[in-house]
Amino acid sequence: MSHHWQCPMCSLQRIEHALHRMERIMSRASDQINALSDKLDGVSAAVADVSADVDVLKSKVGQLDDEGQAALDRLSGKVDALSTEVSDFDGRVGDQDGSDTPVPPVDENPDQPQF
């Protein structure tokens, strides 16, 4: 009967294997989060562009007939709702990867007393 689980080298190899597997999983998750973040940025930019176009149309309100004004009002409402949804989603996701959180400064003299 082999007791390979008691072998220190075998234990280290199992730990190393588990760490490599976790690193691959975390790397894939990080890549997926970054891809979603890029998509969200793209949606936010598109909403901003459409919102700017709606603002241009609003400035021409006097030149629209009733049907055009109704369409503009519906579009404006949809853009506002979409903008709110994107903002709410971004708030729910938050800073999961820590990329928006500043890194604290590193103490270059850890042996010196801090005052």
Q: pLDDT tens digits for 25-84?
A: 888 888 888 888 788 888 888 888 888 888 887 787 778 888 888 888 888 888 888 888
Output the pLDDT for position 99. 67
Output the pLDDT for position 75. 86
Output the pLDDT for position 1. 47
Query: Residue ranges of the domains in the chain?
Result: 9-92
DSSP string of the chain?
Answer: ---GGG-HHHHHHHHHHHHHHHHHHHHHHHHHHHHHHHHHHHHHHHHHHHHHHHHHHHHTGGG--HHHHHHHHHHHHHHHHHHHHHHHHHHHH-STTSTTSPPPPP-S-TTSPP-
Task: Return the minimum-mean-pLDDT range out of 60-64, 96-100, 105-109.
Answer: 96-100
Q: Is the pLDDT of residue 92 over 60?
A: yes
